[in-house]
Structures are given as structure tokens and as C-alpha cells.
């Protein structure tokens, strides 16, 4: 691929989705974008794709390119611990602190094909007796409309349900149809799915008590991570909870959150004075 065309693709993806592509990831562009080239009858490989993206590209073509480059890897109860922490730390705390309001809002900020919000919904269903008369809303968003359609369908392969889903939940909440497993309507109806780009303003989403933003910041640079975490902080209630993925951290990126002691990837808002940079600076005054 010509260097100027690599730059076009790199800049386009960075501006539209935050994805950082380096030259050593050209193979990823190749493998992910060849089905898009086929769909749009484009011959001439990545160079031709880049040329078609220049100026004002067909919006559907632009969306196809952006969506093809997303990594949608996910599974039910992925990494186990965040879901155990939701059940034994987040939920008991909120059931106490929101006892007057009797309402909790949860946001899965990059939900992929739905396994993450549905795992939370199954935990909540198991604990239904604790929140009778409450309103618990789970909002699940993703950049990709294609993957959101899979999430809304909530029909999973044998392979997908074998990854992390406890067998008793499979038996209780899914119906087998051929080689597919369809999630029951009562769990499906607990989630509101919608398209949302983490690069956009979050104000319209309203405020949340819990945010799961897992395994998506890893694709962004520090500037984008910092901006997204600052916006999430703006939408999170002061005593709310943020869960990040196993390879993600706020360290060195933002002072807006602090890790809960003895927890993995579970953060609360840092309501104290700014840490790091400011303190040494003040000490010199």
C-alpha cells in the first residue's frame, strides 16, 4: 500500500472510531477490509479503499469500513471476577444507597454481541427478590450496528454458550433450537440496546450508577482513553462504580477514578484533590 493511502486509512479510523492502527498492523487492514472490498466491488486492494474514503465517502461505505475494523471478541461472564464483584460489592452497595430512590442505571459502554449486559441481567434475575419494586435499567451500547443486531437477536452458538456461561444458567435462561441457543425473552427485555460512539458527547445518555467499559480502551491512545474516562466520570454518580477490562487501567491516564482496594478493575470516582502532577508542583510553591 502506498504510504499516503496508509495515512488516509489510519487517520480515517482514528477520527471516526478512535482506533489506532500502526504500520505493523497493515495485515489487519488487509484481512478485515477484504470482505468490504468484495461487497463494494472494489479491486485494487487497500489503495483503492483509501481512495474511495477520500473527500466525502458514501456514508454506508464509511460505516462498513469502520465496523469491519472493530474487534468484537467477548463471552458470557468474561474474566469471572468483574461479575462476581458486581454481585458481591456493587449491587449490595447500591441496594443500600439507593433505597429511597429504588432505581439503578447500568451502562455497558461497548457491549459487542450482548454477552456482557446479558450476564449482568442474569445475575440480577437470580437476585430478583432483593429488588422487587425497584427499577433497574441496563443500557448497552456499541459503535457497530451489525454487532448490536446480533446482540438484540440474542441467539448464540454452542461454542459461545460453552465459554463462561454456567450450565445452570444455560438450562434456565436459554432454549435450544437446532445448534443455536436462544435467550429467554424475560432476560432480553431487561436490556436497552443502542448505537453509541465513545468519541461522542455522553451527556444525552443521562447519569449512571454503574459503568462497564471493558476491553475497548485497549484500542485507543492515551489521549482518547483520557477523554473517554473524563466523560464517563461526568455521567457517573459520585458514589457510582466503573469496571474496566483486565488489561486496562486509569493509572497515568486520569485522576478522575481510583481503584477500590483489593478489587480487580473496579473503580470509584476520585473525589479528593488531583493526584500526581499537581502535588509535586504545589510542594515547590
Q: Are 267 and 243 in contact (CB under 8 A)?
A: yes
Nearest distance, CB of residue 70 and ligand SAM, angstroms? 3
Q: Residue 241: which residues within 8 A CB-CB, separation 6 or more?
A: 89, 90, 93, 209, 210, 211, 266, 267, 268
d(Cα 268, Cα 136) in Å, to the nearest integer?
A: 20
For position 70 contacting ligand SAM by CB under 6 A, the verdict is: yes
For position 165 contacting ligand SAM by CB under 6 A, the verdict is: no
d(Cα 165, Cα 152) in Å, to the nearest integer?
A: 18
For position 51 contacting ligand SAM by CB under 6 A, the verdict is: no
Span interacting with ligand SAM, options 50-58, 108-116, 130-138, 256-264, rule CB under 6 A: 108-116
For position 248 contacting ligand SAM by CB under 6 A, the verdict is: no
Q: Closer to ligand SAM at the Cβ: 60 or 176?
A: 60
Nearest distance, CB of residue 199 and ligand SAM, angstroms? 5
Nearest distance, CB of residue 80 and ligand SAM, angstroms? 12
Beta strands in 112-185 (DSSP E): 135-142, 155-157, 174-177, 180-183
Q: Closer to ligand SAM at the Cβ: 49 or 211?
A: 211
For position 142 contacting ligand SAM by CB under 6 A, the verdict is: yes
Nearest distance, CB of residue 41 and ligand SAM, angstroms? 25
For position 112 contacting ligand SAM by CB under 6 A, the verdict is: yes
d(Cα 210, Cα 213) in Å, to the nearest integer?
A: 10
d(Cα 56, Cα 12) in Å, to the nearest integer?
A: 12
For position 215 contacting ligand SAM by CB under 6 A, the verdict is: yes
For position 255 contacting ligand SAM by CB under 6 A, the verdict is: no
Which is it for strands 180-183 and 174-177: parallel, antiparallel or unpaired?
Answer: antiparallel
* Residue of 215, 273, 246, 240 whose CA lies nearest to 91: 240
Beta strands in the chain (DSSP E): 103-108, 135-142, 155-157, 174-177, 180-183, 191-195, 208-213, 236-244, 257-259, 266-269
Question: Which of 68, 198, 229, 253 forms a contact with ligand SAM (CB under 6 A)?
Answer: 198
Q: Closer to ligand SAM at the Cβ: 142 or 209?
A: 142
Tell me which residues touch ligand SAM (CB under 6 A).
17-18, 70-74, 78, 110, 112, 116, 142-144, 147, 197-199, 214-216, 245
Amino acid at each position: 500500500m502506498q504510504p499516503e493511502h496508509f495515512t488516509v486509512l489510519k487517520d480515517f479510523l482514528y477520527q471516526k472510531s478512535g482506533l489506532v492502527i500502526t504500520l505493523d498492523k497493515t495485515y489487519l487492514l488487509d484481512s478485515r477490509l477484504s470482505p468490504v472490498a468484495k461487497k463494494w466491488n472494489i479491486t485494487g486492494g487497500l489503495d483503492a479503499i483509501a481512495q474511495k474514503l477520500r473527500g466525502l465517502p458514501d456514508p454506508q461505505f464509511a460505516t462498513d469500513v469502520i465496523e469491519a475494523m472493530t474487534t468484537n471478541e467477548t463471552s458470557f461472564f468474561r474474566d469471572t471476577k468483574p461479575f462476581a464483584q458486581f454481585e458481591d460489592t456493587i449491587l449490595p452497595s447500591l441496594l443500600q444507597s439507593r433505597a429511597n430512590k429504588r432505581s439503578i442505571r447500568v451502562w455497558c459502554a461497548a457491549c459487542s454481541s450482548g454477552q456482557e449486559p446479558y450476564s449482568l441481567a442474569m445475575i440480577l434475575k437470580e437476585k430478583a427478590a432483593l429488588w422487587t419494586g425497584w427499577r433497574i435499567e441496563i443500557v448497552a451500547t456499541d459503535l457497530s450496528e451489525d454487532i448490536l443486531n446480533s446482540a438484540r437477536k440474542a441467539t448464540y452458538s454452542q461454542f459461545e454458550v460453552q465459554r463462561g456461561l454456567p450450565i445452570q444458567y444455560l438450562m434456565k435462561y436459554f432454549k435450544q433450537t437446532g445448534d443455536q441457543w436462544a435467550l429467554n425473552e424475560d432476560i432480553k427485555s431487561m436490556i436497552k440496546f443502542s448505537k453509541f460512539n465513545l468519541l461522542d458527547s455522553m451527556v444525552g445518555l443521562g447519569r449512571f450508577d454503574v459503568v462497564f467499559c471493558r476491553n475497548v480502551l485497549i484500542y485507543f491512545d492515551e489521549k482518547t482513553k483520557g477523554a473517554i474516562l473524563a466523560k464517563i466520570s461526568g455521567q457517573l454518580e459520585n458514589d457510582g462504580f466503573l469496571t474496566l477490562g483486565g488489561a486496562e487501567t486509569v493509572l497515568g491516564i486520569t485522576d478522575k477514578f481510583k481503584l477500590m482496594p483489593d478489587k480487580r478493575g473496579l473503580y470509584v470516582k476520585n473525589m479528593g484533590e488531583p493526584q500526581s502532577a499537581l502535588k509535586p508542583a504545589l510542594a515547590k510553591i
